[in-house]
């Protein structure tokens, strides 16, 4: 197993031209498998019905460029894989600027950015360029070449399954269909791989874990087609890993139902372990949660992100790069926060005091001997854990009630377990 | 069927001297029947027990005046029917100003207004005059004549029943016992007639409708005495039409229980279709909702008014007139708002997506082909309707969740029904 | 039965040196028995297991002092019983100032206060002095004498049981283990005795009452050990009487569950009968509620206090005295507020109107005869009681709904009962 270096991993995957099917996707998954040898890879044939969708053809592209009348390659896919509309149809013809223009995409409000545009479900060809460049194009003749092809093949995805003490699962999904874009979206697979390596290093996990790497939307539809009943019967918490690479913000996007256990865990963690965060609503959704939380599926999936997709200026453009957007600290803080959420899920339980009435902590050395004004303040959290250990509150509920971090409450629980004051009942989520 | 003209209708009924029984009430109902030929008219005999009440005697009045010692009629019922206390006992005697004064009512804080006062349940005689006039009365002798009589007769009310596809009913009540007063209360019968004509013109109504025209309080007690079980088993929403003629405010008075389906419909409509409105509470009640929402009856009756009874300066005085208070726009906006509420009730349902997971809208031409930053914003409401179409949300719930108008959500539902993405389950209110 | 004078009672008990066991506690309870001859007194032997605790030895102290090298008694227990750590071990030795210092306690932030400190569960000896005095101590030799002893004996507590029409009980607890301290804690037993005398003077109490006088914590553990099942099956409301003697604040400390009937009663009373109050949370607890509300016990105990323990500057020091902290008005207002809470509990019920629809109040003389603008305002509360008398609201709920005092609502209920408009159903708390 290759140990992950966060930034190194993104750099390694950066040059690959990914799409929702094809060579780039397959190559990306095989790199991930070097880090996670237990990753299972699957191929699903073109035209297979997956939920309301159908697995599309594979897409392959060799080269693509625009030449001006003097034979200069003024736009070249080999320089930046965003220059071609994702899944673009082939073309090879000469045209006037006027004829070319409906096939040129730029962002007037971000003149030096190449936009990321795809056309998966309607065959179209086009180039994406900076608005600066577009404005300088002179009328005249151009040659547009996209040497791409669509063909019957298969869609590739992978999953990693880690067995815990129970069959109940925490489900983690991320996607790897975006070409050279850093925050959205190489940060997701990056943090997912690191999180998986950490989970594999943990002993005695209570829950099982399933981490899915697939193309966005069509990949999650495919995964659900194959695994829906399994997921519905096992999953107790679910996270979508996306936009987890910058250090400019924290963001919370709820599950569709909005009040699931995953939502509670995420909100508690964000409240106690970040300085501030933006709280989005379900109507701000935009990634695989759309599929996983949909009616009849209802997985309790939450996204804890840094800067949310669609909200930062470099989103879906050539400016979404390592350095400008994604940083080592951004990635590693995301990783730590997800570890914390998982630790909460692993350690949450229903504590029940074994003692009728307030216990005498003093005789156990758990309380100051001399009473004075602030005696009980010193052991406030300890007393609170006991006080709410009535079988009706989870440890997370107690942390919320006391407005302290879950981990402070957990520390006290461990003391109380050692002194046989508390017993624990397992949590039914 | 005579087509209603809103202001014309009020002018037509204006001169009639209405009370809770008698000629004026009967005449008013027969004018209404010209507009609504299907109106059923009922007579209930004096002394009939109706709930905790008893149908009172009829009241008839020929003339009423006060003459000064020189024989000048200084107050004359023929000039304004508010000059006599409603349901006044007869009198014909000479008295000094001192003796007359306990029988003279005016409003010092509104010196040029004649107050509207009644004494239904204790026999009393009296005149209502402006405070300006009262202050100018010179001591001396006066002659007070009220040629009225009370006699065994009957109380008159009417109802219109419109049959829809189900027996479940929307119940609309208004009252017609007030003499020449515009907002409170000729606006209520006026909008009720217009609403009834509109309902009669609708095809394929889902619900049945019952519109009751009766004197306030005693009329609603009478109606309930005759129809209680019928109403209790059928009514799913209920509106009291009162004070719907001015254009100075919108007002919401909840049902007693406060959270009925009618309340939800009214609040949604007021939130989305008015600029602002005053939200009253049940303790601000004051009209037939007192009877219809009472314990053991519990109809879900809400009042959506313009300026609420008791809150505008002209209320229950001779200043409550067409022009000064009631306007054509005030009436027609009220009518439109009530049509909207009824449209919500008619169109509300429980949508359930037929598709597992996020549907592929693109293949149905329901989604932009080229992905970019704002793709999903363009069809946000469409996506939201699908997303909440889980069988647990009504269409109205979905509109509330998405904070958009019910009618926007309804437009999308129609698109989705046409494309067979959604099926609908009928609403059980 | 000796009639209580509030301040007189505190003065009478002031000089007694109380602790959690021993002569002072026993003497205090026998004074209380003069005011409440029906008080039952109990003795529970040292070493008896009570819940998680054990009844400690008795503590007796004859004299205690510190002499300087010249034989001057510079600290003397006979001057103030706070000078010795409560439950202090004996000592009789000469020591240097350096050796003495770990046994001297003072409050640098309150230089003229003697702190109140105890060491119940670890044998230790020590003196409490003002910080002013401590700072002036010169190095040299001192003699420390504490002539105390611990011995097998018993713990004393008392309870008073007042029989009402039902076995369901209101439980009131207070503690009497503190030496010469006024607000915390002679105010508690003082108001408890006065409340008990008032209850004994009431005829036809609906509920039974149990008032417990015991040392804090160990006394409540002992009481629960003997009476747990009895209390669990009978108690419908519970109050802890502590810190009820000053007039500087009102304070509310909720029960552990926070939404019990007692909490509702306390909040309503504080909202309607005080100008303002501080609302504490369960994490601010600090008295017998810790024991009585603990898991597996769950009594619905609330504390309605003046200045809460731990929040006023004189708390647990020699400055907590009559005059400086406790006043006659502070005590009697507390007494009145607790009488009000008990009156609410005694009079609360589920009113159900016997009439279908709005009743005709006029024919019963309960409504103004002449209608005008403000008719219904005059009898608003009367109308509201009827309107919510649907069997789903308690009288307290109705008061809350109408935002008026319970006692206003109760006055109207009595009128309505007399006129046979309402019947009442007993409350199940």
pLDDT digits 0-9 by tens, A324-378 = 999 999 999 999 999 999 999 999 999 999 999 999 998 998 987 666 555 566 6
User: How many Å apart are CA C195 and CA C173, to the nearest integer?
Assistant: 12
Closest CA to A214 of A176, A243, A251: A176
The CA distance from C113 to C174, in Å, is 25
Distance from CA of C291 to the nearest CA of A (A): 5
pLDDT digits (tens, 9 = 90+) for A56-87: 999 999 999 999 999 999 999 999 999 999 99
Residues 51-80 of A with CB under 8 A from B: 51-53
Question: Is C125 touching A (CB cutoff 8 A)?
Answer: no
Report how many domains make up chain A.
3
pLDDT at C85 over 80: yes
Segment A154-169 mean pLDDT = 97
Judge if B173 and B308 occupy the same domain: yes
Size of interface A-B (CB pairs under 8 A): 77
pLDDT at position C377 over 80 = no
Nearest to B212, CA basis, from B244, B169, B262, B180: B169
Q: Which chains touch C (3 or more CB pairs under 8 A)?
A: A, B
Which residue range is the domain that position A240 belongs to? Answer: 6-52+154-346
In a domain, residue B42? The reply is yes
- Give B51's contacts in chain C (Cβ within 8 Å): 355-357
Contact C390 B298 (CB under 8 A): yes
In this structure, the answer to whether residues C132 and C163 fall within a common structural domain is no
A286–B376: do the CB atoms touch at under 8 Å?
yes
**Considering CB atoms only, which of C353, C370, C374 is closest to B295?**
C353
Nearest to A390 among C51, C119, C295 (CB): C295
Q: Tell me what pLDDT residue C336 has.
A: 98
What is the Cα C388 distance to its own chain's centre? Answer: 35
* Closest in B353, B362, B380 to A295, CB measured: B353
Taking contacts as CB-CB distances below 8 angstroms, the residues of chain C near B122 are 362, 369
- According to the model, what pLDDT value does residue B162 have? 98
Inspect the interface and report whether the beta carbons of A369 and C290 lie closer than 8 Å.
Answer: no
Q: Would an 8 Å CB–CB cutoff place A89 in contact with chain B?
A: no
Q: Are residues A325 and A183 in the same domain?
A: yes
Mean pLDDT of all residues in A112-123? 92
> Average model confidence (pLDDT) for chain A?
95
Report the Cα C143 to chain-centroid distance in Å: 40
A340 in a structural domain: yes
In this prediction, residues C360-370 reach a mean pLDDT of 84
Q: Which of A72, A84, A69 is nearest to A18 (CA)?
A: A84
Whether residue A370 and residue C117 make contact (CB cut-off 8 A), yes or no, is: yes
Domain check: are A178 and A283 in the same one? yes
The answer to whether residue C1 is domain-embedded is no
Contacts of C372 in chain B (CB under 8 A): 115, 117, 316
Give me the pLDDT at residue C158, please.
98
- Interface contact B358, partner A, CB < 8 A: yes
Q: Torsion angle of alpha carbons A78, A81, A85, A91, nearest 10°?
A: 20
- Tell me, yes or no, if C391 comes closer than 8 A to chain A by beta carbon: no
CB B73 within 8 A of CB B125: no
Determine, for residues B371 and A117 on separate chains, whether the beta-carbon distance falls below 8 Å: yes
* Cβ within 8 Å, pair C387-B290: yes
Give the closest residue to C282 by CA, choosing from C302, C309, C311, C298. Answer: C302
Q: How far apart are CA C79 and CA B189, in angstroms?
A: 87
Across the interface, whether the CB atoms of B120 and C371 are under 8 A apart is answered yes
Q: Does C366 touch chain B (CB under 8 A)?
A: no
pLDDT at residue B425, rounded to an integer: 86
Does residue C48 fall inside a structural domain? yes
Single residue among A120, A151, A182 that ends a domain in this structure: A151
Query: Is the domain of C204 the same as that of C244?
Result: yes
Q: What angle do CA B20, B25, B26 make, to 5 degrees?
A: 130
Nearest to C91 by CA among C110, C106, C75, C107: C75
User: Nearest-CA distance from C165 to chain A in Å?
Assistant: 30
Neighbours of B, requiring at least 3 CB pairs below 8 Å, are: A, C
C316 touches chain A (CB under 8 A): yes
For residue C380, give how far its alpha carbon lies from the nearest alpha carbon of chain B (Å): 8
All residues of chain B having their beta carbon less than 8 Å from the beta carbon of residue C361 are: none
**Residues 6 or more apart in contact with residue C256 via CB below 8 angstroms:** A387, A388, C282, C285, C289, C293, C294, C298
C330 in any annotated domain: yes
pLDDT of residue A376: 63
Residues A122 and A176 in one domain: no
Distance (Å) from the alpha carbon of B421 to chain C's nearest alpha carbon = 43
Task: Examine the pLDDT at C208 and tell me if it is beyond 60.
Answer: yes
Which residues of B fall within a CB distance of 8 Å from C362? Answer: 121-122
Contact B363 A121 (CB under 8 A): yes
Same domain, B286 and B358: no
Evaluate if residue C129 carries a pLDDT over 90: yes
Residues of chain C contacting B312 with CB distance shorter than 8 Å = none
Cβ contact, residue pair A358, C52, below 8 Å: yes
- Is B393 contained in some domain? yes
Say which residues have a Cβ less than 8 Å from residue B275's Cβ, sequence separation at least 6.
Answer: none
Q: Which residue of C has its CA nearest to B87?
A: C370
> Do B170 and B239 share a domain, yes or no?
yes
Instruction: From chain C, pick out residues whose CB is under 8 angstroms from the CB of B119.
Output: 369-371
Same domain, residue pair C74 and C219: no
C180: closest CA of chain A, how far (Å): 16
Instruction: Confirm or reject contact between C166 and chain B (CB < 8 A).
Output: no
Residues of C in contact with A387 (CB under 8 A): 256, 282, 290, 293-295
pLDDT of residue A15: 95
Asked which of A298, A331, A346 is the last residue of a domain, the reply is A346
**In which band, very low, low, confident or very high, does the pLDDT at C370 lie, cut at 50, 70 and 90?**
low
CATH number at residue C82: 3.50.30.90
Which of residues A116, A134, A151 is at a domain's end? A151
Chain A: nearest CA to B355, how far in angstroms?
Answer: 7
Same-domain status, A230 and A367: no
Residue A1 lies in a domain: no
Structure confidence at residue B426 (pLDDT): 79
Judge whether A310 is closer than 8 Å to chain B, CB to CB.
Answer: yes
B179 and B47 together in one domain: yes
CATH code of the domain containing B373: 1.10.10
Task: Calculate how close chain B gets to A117, using CA atoms only, in Å.
Answer: 6
Question: Which of chain B's residues have a Cβ under 8 Å away from the Cβ of A120?
Answer: 362, 371
Q: How far is B351 from chain C (nearest CA, A)?
A: 33
Q: What is the pLDDT of residue A427?
A: 76
SS3 per residue for chain A: CCCCCHHHHHHHHCCCCCCCCCHHHHHHHHHHHHHCCCCEEEEEECCCEECCEECCCEEEEEEEEEECCCCCEEEECCCCHHHECECCCCEEEEEEHHHHHHHEECCCCCCCCCECCECCCCCCCCEECCHHHHHHCCCCEEEEEEEEEEECCEEEEEEEEECCCCCCEEEEEEECCCCCCCCCCCHHHHHHHHHHHHHHHCCCCCCEEEEEEECCCHHHHHHHHHHHHHHHHHEEEEEECCCCCCCCCCEEECCCCCCCHHHHHHHHHHHHHCCCCEECCHHHCCCCHHHHCCCCCCCCEEEEECCCCCCCCCCCECCCCECCCECHHHHHHHHHHHHHHHHHHHHCCEEEECCCCCCCCHHHCCCCCCECCCHHHHCHHHHHHHHHCECCCCHHHHHHHHCCCHHHHHHHHHHHHHCCCEEEECCCC
| CATH classification of the domain holding C189 | 3.40.630.10
Per-residue pLDDT of chain B (429 residues; tens, 9 = 90+): 899 999 999 999 999 999 999 999 999 999 999 999 999 999 999 999 999 999 999 999 999 999 999 999 999 999 999 999 999 999 999 999 999 999 999 999 999 999 999 998 889 999 999 999 999 999 999 999 999 999 999 999 999 999 999 999 999 999 999 999 999 989 999 999 999 999 999 999 999 999 999 999 999 999 999 999 999 999 999 999 999 999 999 999 999 999 999 999 999 999 999 999 999 999 999 999 999 999 999 999 999 999 999 999 999 999 999 999 999 999 999 999 999 999 999 999 999 999 999 999 989 989 876 665 555 666 889 999 999 999 999 999 999 999 999 999 999 999 999 999 999 987 777
On whether both A158 and A109 belong to a single domain, the answer is: no
For residues A265-273, average pLDDT: 98
Contact B357 A221 (CB under 8 A): yes
Confirm whether C117 is domain-assigned: yes
């Amino acid at each position: 197993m290759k140990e992950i270096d966060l930034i190194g991993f993104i750099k390694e995957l950066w040059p690959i031209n990914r799409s929702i099917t094809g060579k780039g996707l397959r190559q990306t998954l095989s790199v991930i498998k070097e880090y996670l040898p237990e990753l299972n890879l699957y191929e699903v044939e073109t035209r297979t019905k997956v939920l309301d969708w159908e697995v599309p053809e594979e897409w392959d592209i060799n080269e693509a460029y625009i030449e001006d009348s003097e034979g200069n390659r003024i736009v070249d896919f080999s320089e930046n894989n965003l220059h071609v509309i994702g899944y673009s149809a082939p073309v090879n013809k000469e045209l006037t600027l006027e004829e070319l223009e409906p096939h040129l995409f730029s962002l007037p409000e971000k003149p030096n950015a190449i936009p990321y545009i795809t056309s998966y479900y309607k065959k179209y060809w086009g180039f994406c360029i900076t608005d600066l460049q577009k404005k300088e194009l002179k009328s005249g003749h151009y040659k547009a070449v996209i040497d791409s092809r669509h063909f019957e093949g298969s869609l590739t995805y992978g999953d990693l399954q880690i067995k815990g003490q129970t069959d109940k699962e925490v489900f983690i999904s991320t996607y790897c269909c975006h070409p050279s874009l850093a925050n959205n979206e190489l940060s997701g697979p990056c943090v997912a791989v690191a999180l998986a390596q950490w989970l594999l290093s943990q002993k005695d996990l209570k829950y099982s874990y399933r981490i899915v790497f697939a193309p966005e939307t069509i990949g999650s539809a495919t995964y659900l087609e194959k695994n829906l009943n399994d997921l519905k019967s096992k999953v107790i918490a679910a996270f979508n890993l996306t936009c987890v690479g910058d250090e400019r913000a924290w963001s919370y996007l709820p599950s569709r139902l909005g009040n699931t256990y995953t939502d509670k865990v995420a909100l508690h963690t964000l409240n106690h372990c970040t300085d501030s965060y933006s709280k989005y609503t379900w109507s701000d959704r935009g990634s695989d949660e759309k599929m996983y939380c949909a009616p009849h599926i209802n997985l309790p999936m939450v996204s804890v992100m840094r800067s949310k997709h669609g909200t930062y200026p470099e989103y879906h453009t050539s400016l979404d790069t390592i350095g400008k957007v994604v940083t080592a600290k951004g990635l590693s803080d995301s990783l730590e926060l997800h570890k914390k959420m998982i630790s909460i899920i692993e350690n949450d339980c229903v504590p029940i005091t074994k003692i009728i009435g307030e216990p005498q902590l003093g005789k156990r050395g758990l309380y100051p001997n001399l009473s004075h004004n602030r005696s009980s303040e010193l052991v406030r959290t300890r007393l609170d854990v006991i006080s709410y250990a009535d079988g009706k509150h989870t440890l997370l509920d107690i942390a919320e009630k006391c407005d302290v971090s879950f981990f402070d409450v957990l520390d006290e629980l461990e003391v109380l377990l050692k002194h046989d004051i508390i017993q624990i009942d397992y949590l039914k989520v």
